Amino acid sequence: MQQNNSTQYNLGDFIEDRFKIFDISIGGMCEVYHCLDTKQIIPKPIALKTIRKKSLQEIDIGNVLKNETHTWIKLGQHPNIVRCYWYDTLDNIPFICLELIPSQPGTTSPSLSNLIKQEKLNIKDIFQIIIDVTKGLEYAQRKIPNFVHLDLKPNNILIAPDQQAKISDFGISRIGGQNSNITGSPFYMAPEIWDCNTTDQRTDIYALGCILFEMLNGLPPFTSDSADQLEQMHKYSLVPKIDVKIENSYQIDELIRITLSKKKQDRFSDFSTFFNYLIKIYNKLFRTEPIVDYKKSIIHSNDHLNWGFSLANIGRYHDAINEYNKAIELNPLYYLAYNNKGDALNKIGKYNEAIESLNKAISLNSRRETAYLNIAISYYRLENDEKALKYINHSLSINPQYSKAFALKGMIFFETNKLDESESYLQQALKYNRFNILANYGMGLIKNQQKEYAEAIKYFNYAEQIDKDNINIYFQRAMAYDELKKYDEALFDYAKVIHDKQYVLDAILLRAETYIKTGKTNEAINDYSKLLSINPNHIEALFNKAVLLYEKDKIVEAISDYSKILEMSPNNSKALSNRGICFYDLGKHKEAISDYSKAIQIQPDNSIYYSNRANAYGEIHKFKECLLDQTKLIELEPFIYTKYM
């Protein structure tokens, strides 16, 4: 039992005013809250897992939790795998909801690590645990081909009160293959992980060998405070002998020798082979059969609904739709399955299919506001504001305090430039739910448009607290910072947007302009080059880059960029004039005159073009032509003084 300031909640706290915490477990990167769901008629114990407070701000770490959820849901249900119920954001913190494995009587934790420390395992228990874990891994391999856990250790194996072992923690599991990083727990890591080589089932079998050794001996086969020394031991040291007082104990030695072979090819080839070998050894050692068939849980329609909801929450909309379809197969009258399916279809742009599913939901229950709002979203995306507003108003007639409906209504009015009405509806949305992401974002847009940039940033900051993965927030906030000349903050936000397909070109272009404002011309040139590697025909980027190259005396490179522009846009008078200036500076006055003349044909009233051409004529002593251009210049700009007058 834990209670300290390093966790986000303490014992007795409520998460989302619903889940009461009665115990806390802390790992290296995660914290797990043991809770009672107080909204159930009979409060149900569950485990809520999230990233530790110190790591929560790191977006990549947050994605680890999403990826873990996806793996867990794909695995479905198996007696030897801790069950995943759903993924959701509670109190603006992402959580995975898991099956809670209670501690056994007289213990403080259900982990295998705890049982090893308390020396509560006999040899028969030990082999049953290894068989359970291997059976779970064999199942995982069938569900997800080439699955590798990569972090098997006693802390990630939980023992239920009926002694059934369950695998937990899929945070770094992956499809087998090349391993570019050293991942896992050093006491259980196979040599190929240390060498960043290819991983597969045999990598996990090595970890199981380490765990088996530890259960029998009390410590892993190799121990040291030095990671470097542990690496050398896993790669080169002989496995220590174990003194097990049991008939046929030599078979245990042989089992450990094979599982802990330095070369993968010398280990058991896969989980199935290893499992069958374990069964044979169990029979010989104990002259009885191990437990291999536990009672299987029945999967209900609400299980598929929860998994679909979780997959949608981590952006896996196609997978979510598959789960909703399974829920509908089991229960064809399931309102929430049709409603949530419609919501997911909206997310992937299949608006007409969404409308069909949502109409089915309404036919099943016309007194719930959510399906009406989701249909409104469909029509909004189809640019049919009239129908969108009709369904929004219907949802509000059912629930007059429906924050999401007010927010969408506000955005529709914003996009028709009715800012007063838009702000009124968005404020209504925030009145009923201060954490409404769309309402905060929409208010930021309004304040940006009204040039109240400091206010806009306040709303964007609030929106960011709610959804740190929303690229739109960073893009709009960057522009607000730019207007306030807070260039460092703007550059920081642009950097978050650069890798998003939707905004990459605009973000690079705007960031380059910000670099120019701060005098960082090299960085600006690099950004324009990056943009042009994505879109070589981006005329604005070519032009701006050429201007900067000219300022840095890279005149030949500038001419090359202006020439590319003129291949695409022969009548671009600015590119012609600027290329003419480049030629002039290189002493190529005839080429300069040619470009100035073409620019004048396109824009005959531009005094600068005449002035530049006059200078070029003067350099090659064509004073008559020079005089004519100067005369034209005086007509256009009577107060201009030239040296040729």
pTM across the whole model: 0.73
CATH number, residue 133: 1.10.510.10
Q: CA 442 to CA 426: how far, in whole Å?
A: 7
For β-strands 44-51 and 30-37, DSSP reports them as: antiparallel
CATH number, residue 25: 3.30.200.20
For the chain, what is the largest distance between any 2 Cα atoms, rounded to a whole number of angstroms? Answer: 115
Looking at every residue in the chain, the average pLDDT score rounds to: 91
Task: Mean pLDDT check: name the lowest of 53-62, 96-105, 157-166, 390-399.
Answer: 53-62
Report pLDDT digits (tens) over 76-118: 889 999 999 999 989 888 899 999 998 766 667 889 999 999 8
For residues 149 and 279, membership in a common domain is answered with yes
Domain boundary among 286, 308, 338: 286
Domain boundary among 40, 71, 98: 98
Residue 643 confidence class, pLDDT cut points 50, 70, 90 = very low
Domain boundary among 217, 252, 286: 286
For residues 215 and 71, membership in a common domain is answered with no
- Strand positions, DSSP E, 180-334: none
For residues 122 and 147, membership in a common domain is answered with yes
Domain that holds residue 280: 112-286
For residues 89 and 121, membership in a common domain is answered with no
For residues 120 and 186, membership in a common domain is answered with yes
Residues 6+ apart with CB under 8 A from 535: 505, 541
For residues 151 and 91, membership in a common domain is answered with no
For residues 89 and 220, membership in a common domain is answered with no
| 556 occurs within a structural domain | no
| 487 occurs within a structural domain | no
For residues 168 and 268, membership in a common domain is answered with yes
Instruction: Check residue 265 and report its DSSP letter.
Output: G
| 361 occurs within a structural domain | no
Which of 9-18, 182-191, 384-393, 629-638 has the highest average model confidence (pLDDT)? 384-393
For residues 93 and 225, membership in a common domain is answered with no
| 188 occurs within a structural domain | yes
| 162 occurs within a structural domain | yes
| 219 occurs within a structural domain | yes
Number of structural domains found in the chain: 2
For residues 192 and 71, membership in a common domain is answered with no
For residues 87 and 135, membership in a common domain is answered with no
For residues 206 and 87, membership in a common domain is answered with no
Give SS3 for 318: helix
User: Above 50 in pLDDT, residue 2?
Assistant: no
| 278 occurs within a structural domain | yes
Report pLDDT digits (tens) over 505-554: 999 999 999 999 999 999 999 999 999 999 999 999 999 999 999 999 99
Query: Alpha helices, DSSP H only, in 484-606?
Result: 487-497, 504-517, 521-534, 539-551, 555-568, 573-585, 589-602
| Tokens linked to 475 | 């893009």
